[in-house]
Amino acid sequence: MHDETRLLAGGMVMLAIATGALVVVPYMTVRDVPPIEGLKPYTNEQLRGRRQYIANGCVYCHSQQPRSRNFAPDFERGWGRASVAGDYAYDTPHLLGTMRTGPDLLNIGARQPSEQWHLGHLYQPRAYVPGSVMPGYPYLFELKDKADTGDVEVHLPPGFAPAGKRVIALREARDLVAYLKALDRTYPVIPAPKAVRTVRTPEDPS
């Protein structure tokens, strides 16, 4: 008898059900959600920075998905309102993350807009956040005896700069900071699109 065929057919139907629920239906409903008004596409510099964020695995310690206020105190921590699908319209690949070894970063650009802070923090996190377990990224910087014109020098808090050397941010670090500063979803979510509001029943005077 064709037992194998029936076994594999059964197995594939099971997988098809799961794929339908978790891949196909989301594909049809939330893949092409339009961006929310107020969300700007990334610039080339920010996209290069996003590559750095991916390349160095920031996503393994930082989520980008504040949860709603009735679920968890993410808003009270200053991480922003609960995010919606339209906030990620330009995010390919997605970087929602599943760990909070460090804080959520979806609104880090609004929380900390200083380029110097970000550069210095990437060079040595413990210069700004005592007790942080984030690694430094010295390979995104260059040590020079003196800064040349056009160099972006990082001004670290006293005691953290290498003696007699200038810390110059490489382009990778500047791109990454440009991306971090662009992480700002503080605009309001538009409540209901017009199409819904025009459909009114006579019983509903509003």
Partner 1 sequence: MNTVVILLSAFVISVFGLFVFIWTQRRGLLDPSPRAAEVIFAPGEIGVVEDPAGTRETVAKLQAANPSIIGSGHAEELAERARADASTAPLVFFFLCCAFAWLLVASAAGLVASIKLHEPDWLIGQAWLTFGRIRTIHLNAVAYGWAPMAGLGVALFVIPRLLKTPLVGARYAFLGAALWNAALIAGLGAIAVGLGDGLEWLEIPWQVDILFVAGGALVGVPLVLTLLQRKVDHLYVSVWYMGCALFWFPVLFLVANIPGLHRGVQEAAMNWWFAHNVLGLFYTPLALASVYYFLPKIIGRPVQSYNLSLLGFWGLAFFYGQVGGHHLVGGPVPGWMITLSIVQSMMMIIPVVAFTVNMHGTLEGRLSALRYSPTLRFIGFGGLMYTVSSIQGAVEALRTLNVVVHFTHHTVGHAHLGMYGFVTMVFFGAIYFVVPRVSGREWPSPLLIGAHFWLAAIGITIYFISLSYGGWLQGVAMLDASRPFMESVTLMLPYLKARSIGGALMVLGHLVFVLHFVLLLTTKPSGRNQPTLLQAI
Query: Closer to partner 1 at the Cβ: 89 or 110?
Result: 89
Question: Is residue 34 close enough to count as binding partner 1 by CB under 8 A?
Answer: no
Read off φ and ψ for residue 168, nearest 5 degrees.
Answer: -110, 130
The reply on whether position 126 binds partner 1 by CB under 8 A is yes
User: Is 154 a binder of partner 1 (CB under 8 A)?
Assistant: no
Binding mask 92-121 for partner 1 (x = CB under 8 A): xxxxxxxxxxxx------------------
- Pick from 67, 56, 63: nearest CA to 91: 63
Residue nearer to partner 1 on the CB measure, 166 or 172: 172
**Stretch binding partner 1 (CB under 8 A), from 10-18, 149-157, 159-167, 195-203:** 10-18
Window of 6-14, 36-44, 110-118, 147-155 that interacts with partner 1 by CB under 8 A: 6-14
Please tell me what DSSP assigns to residue 35: P
Tell me how far, at minimum, the Cβ of 192 lies from partner 1, in Å: 17
DSSP 81: S
Site for partner 1, residues 52 to 71, rule: CB under 8 A: 52, 54-61, 63, 65, 67-68, 71
Three-class DSSP category at 144: strand
Q: Is 22 in the site for partner 1 (CB under 8 A)?
A: yes
Query: Contacting partner 1 (CB under 8 A), which of 37, 41, 43, 72?
Result: 72
Instruction: Please tell me whether the peptide bond between 93 and the residue prior to it is cis, using omega within 30 degrees of 0.
Output: yes
- Any contact of residue 125 with partner 1 (CB under 8 A)? yes
Nearer to partner 1, 77 or 205 (CB): 77
**CB-CB contact of 81 with 189 (8 Å):** yes
Cβ atoms of 179 and 42 closer than 8 Å = yes
**Contact (CB, 8 A) for 150 and 106:** no
137 binds partner 1 (CB under 8 A): yes
Collapse the DSSP code of 147 into the 3-class scheme (helix H, G, I; strand E, B; otherwise coil) and give the result.
Answer: coil
The strand ranges marked E within 89-151 are: 141-144
